[in-house]
Amino acid sequence: MLDVVKDLLILLVGSSLVSNVVLSQFLGLCPFLGVSKKVDTAAGMGGAVIFVITIASAVAAVIYKFILVRFDITYLQTIVFILVIAALVQFVEMFLKKFVPALYQALGVYLPLITTNCAVLGIALTNVQKNYGIGFSIASGLFTAVGFMIAIVILAGIREKMEYNDIPESFQGMPIVLITAGLMAIAFCGFSGLL
Amino acid sequence: MNISAILTAVAVVGGVGLFLGIFLGIASIVFKVEVDEKEEAVLGVLPGNNCGGCGYPGCSGLAAAIAKGEAAVNACPVGGDAVGKKVAAIMGVEAGETIRMTAFVRCQGDSERATRNYEYTGVEDCSMIKYVPDGGAKSCNHGCLGYGNCADACPFGAITVRNGVAVVDKEKCKACGKCIAACPKHLIELIPYDAKTVVACSSCDRGPVTMKACKTGCIGCGLCVKACPVDAITVDAFHAHIDQSKCTGCGACKEKCPKKAIIDFS
């Protein structure tokens, strides 16, 4: 029992900070740069990503274990996961619209955007690569998505402050954001000493 | 060549795809959300700028509120009467007359009229300049800072900064109210499009202070109050205010104002 808790703690620190999905694996850069103009929208996107990635890791792990391994066609994991994740996001959207309209309103446009977030697929594939069981896949998905939320909220905070700074013309807009993201990635390297 | 491996792959991926397709198809029927027909029709005639001037989150928010009967049919400040009538036709009710409003910057302290305490070179953003010493370089603590936060906020390009003071083009203004929220000095107010006479100053400093700071500042002398035949003007905190619902536009106050702070609105 203690071993499991220890493993989960290591997984938490490892996947949310040390190998942060955005800042050290460079997955999910599109929403990271696109939806980080304001802290509250960034937090909304982060929440939606946590929600979807956790469910997607669970479903992907189940499908891998009970369909792909069984028929010995694990090499098809990428294409099957893409199918499943796209359908899953659609389904979650419909489900929320019907039963939790408040959450649907809050997540708004971010939910369909997540279909194109490669972090979702990336995490499903990484879980398989690392031979995680279903429980650990879900935990890994959840923690990685928390890492995404941390990164996007920090970047949004920095970008809100940056609005008032006098940025050289050639660096205005996306270039300075990419430089900021790069500096954040270097800062997150510091976490590698934790494990 | 193992032909059965290929067939398994095709069958599994095809099967998963088919299952998901049918599953989503069923889900879309089971989880169907009834969308009010009226709501969609209303959304169709709203301007679609999503400016938020009505107080709802975007045009779709207002359309939903109108369809439910929570908002008035002419609640869209941008569309005004024209859109209000179309929405009323969809909802099957009479549209009341809407008074067309327009934004007005209560300051005319441009670089010739307002004195400056010092030369300011720094961040060009009103909400930041508010916090520099004396609340900006202009001696008047209440006047337009002239760095155009309102112009940036305007979705319709109706505001320009001329000679250090923001000016609203009332033909372009849709009265959405974004500039009112953007101005850190709270200078901008909505007044009727047909308003004839306005106080173009918002200073509530005492007379001598305002007199030094600006050539056209309201000093709160009260001559306009006496001049007004319909009691439309009040002076509060050394600052005159015209009640536009009473004002007849006779211009008596404008004649009497010693500082020319009351002007024609045209």
Mean pLDDT lowest among A96-100, B9-13, B184-188: A96-100
Res. B98 pLDDT band, cuts 50 70 90: low
Q: Which residues contact B34 (CB under 8 A, 6 or more apart)?
A: none
User: How many separate domains does chain B show?
Assistant: 3
Give yes or no: residues B143 and B216 share one domain. no
| Winning range, highest mean pLDDT, from A55-64, B77-86, B206-215 | A55-64
In the predicted structure, residue A157 carries a pLDDT above the cut 90: yes
Q: What is the pLDDT of residue B96?
A: 62
Last residue of a domain, one of B47, B71, B91: B91
Percentage of residues of chain B with pLDDT beyond 70: 97
What token pair was written down for B23?
């599953």
In the predicted structure, residue B77 carries a pLDDT above the cut 90: no
- For chain A, domain boundaries: 25-194
Domain limits for position B164: 100-192
Tell me the mean pLDDT in the region A72-76: 84
Q: What is the pLDDT of residue A52?
A: 86
Tell me the mean pLDDT in the region A124-137: 89
Of residues A63, A68, A83, nearest to B17 (C-beta)? A83
Task: Give domain status of residue B3, yes or no.
Answer: no
Last residue of a domain, one of B166, B192, B218: B192
- The Cα–Cα gap between A145 and A54 comes to 8
Instruction: Give B17's contacts in chain A (Cβ within 8 Å).
Output: 83
- The Cα–Cα gap between B219 and B237 comes to 10
Give yes or no: residues B208 and B133 share one domain. no
- Between B95 and B107, where is the model more confident? B107
If one counts every other C-beta atom within 10 angstroms of the C-beta of residue A114, the result is: 24
Q: Which residues contact B213 (CB under 8 A, 6 or more apart)?
A: B109, B114, B115, B138, B139, B140, B141, B143, B203, B205
Interface contact B35, partner A, CB < 8 A: no
Instruction: Give A79's contacts in chain B (Cβ within 8 Å).
Output: 13
Mean pLDDT lowest among A101-115, A169-183, B203-217, B224-238: A101-115
Contact flag A95-B5 (C-beta cutoff 8 Å): no
Name the residue among B183, B204, B203, B181 with its Cα closest to residue B130: B183
Tens digit of pLDDT for each residue in B207-232? 888 888 888 888 888 888 888 888 88
Percentage of residues of chain A with pLDDT beyond 90: 21
In the predicted structure, residue A25 carries a pLDDT above the cut 90: no
